[in-house]
Amino acid sequence: MVKIFIDPGHGGSDSGAVGNGLQEKNITLMIAQQIRNILQNEYEGVEIRMSRNGDSTVSLAARTNAANNWNADFFLSIHVNAGGGTGFESYIFPGVGAPTSTYQNEIHEEVIAETRFNNRGKKSANFHVLRETIMPALLTENGFIDTAIDANQLKDSNFITKIARGHVNGLESAFSLQKKQTQSPIYRVQIGAFKVKENAEKTASQASEKGFDTAVLFRDNLFKVQIGAFSNRNNAERLAQRAREAGFNAFITS
């Protein structure tokens, strides 16, 4: 289990940077929530905690204490830049080597690849959340709220998703996260459903005589005559067509 602590910067009485009608605290929360949702929906073996889930005031000490007490494997702090400029930069604590620097490389590159942000480089700084965390920690600055071109992108929910997706892709490489196995549907070709078992068996034997492999399955209080089951829908369609040509009322259920 990989434990990732996500820290949406600012919140509550601390709006963070403001500009172009935007408040940093709202953008950081949207990005963080999307990172969390994508990780929870698409990956297994990953556990998430957030320093805040809503618009609440949380001190820097409370953020790092929460991550330290939880014994997180990684601390990811999300911010939006200000002060003039454009693009993306990321920070680790000065002088820390691998694995923190490796994580920075992977996440930084994936965010750039996904967002096409101007690349301002991988940096280091003596920030509280980087210094006081006992686990590897990264802080990302996602665009400039006071630069119109960046702010316009930050107003677009698809772009927020791209920022989140970039972070997730980086986390996937950094921590070798595994995608959930999605179960593909099974397409069953059925030529009848009967309340009376004998009727189902009669249809099944007619189909057998015409060369179909048949099975009578009791499901949902009906005796169903099945002649095939496929993971590929086209194969199911082909068999259903053959059964129709042989005079059966074939249809596909999944």
- Read off the tokens for 46: 């990953």
**CB nearer to Zn ion: pick between 16 and 19:** 16
Order the strands of the 215-219 sheet from edge to edge.
215-219, 222-230, 187-194, 251-253
Which of 24, 89, 106, 141 is catalytic? The answer is 141
Catalytic: 245?
no
Nearer of residues 9 and 166 to Zn ion, judged by Cβ: 9
| Closest approach of Zn ion to the CB of residue 47, in Å | 25
Residue 143 burial (CB count, 10 A): 27
Torsion of CA 175, 180, 181, 186, to 10 degrees: -160
* Among 111, 246, 244, residue whose Cα is nearest residue 167: 111
CB 203 within 8 A of CB 194: yes
Nearer to Zn ion among residue 103 and residue 144 (C-beta)? 144
Token pair of 78, please? Answer: 């999300």
* Listed residue (161, 127, 120) closest to 27, CA to CA: 161
Q: Which residue is closest to Zn ion by CB? A: 79
Q: Enumerate binding residues for Zn ion (CB under 5 A).
A: 9, 16, 79
Task: Please state the closest distance from residue 51 (CB atom) to Zn ion, in A.
Answer: 13
Instruction: Report, in Å, the least distance between residue 240 CB and Zn ion.
Output: 58
Tell me the chain's radius of gyration from C-alpha atoms: 27
Least spacing, CB of residue 57 vs Zn ion, in Å: 14
Query: Among 245, 218, 242, 209, which Cα is nearest to 228's?
Result: 242
Measured from the CB atom, the residue of 145 and 250 that comes closer to Zn ion is 145
Minimum distance, C-beta of residue 9 to Zn ion, in the bound complex (Å): 4
Residue with tokens 């965010």, as numbered in its chain? 111
- Cβ distance to Zn ion smaller for residue 28 or 100: 28
Catalytic residue ranges:
141
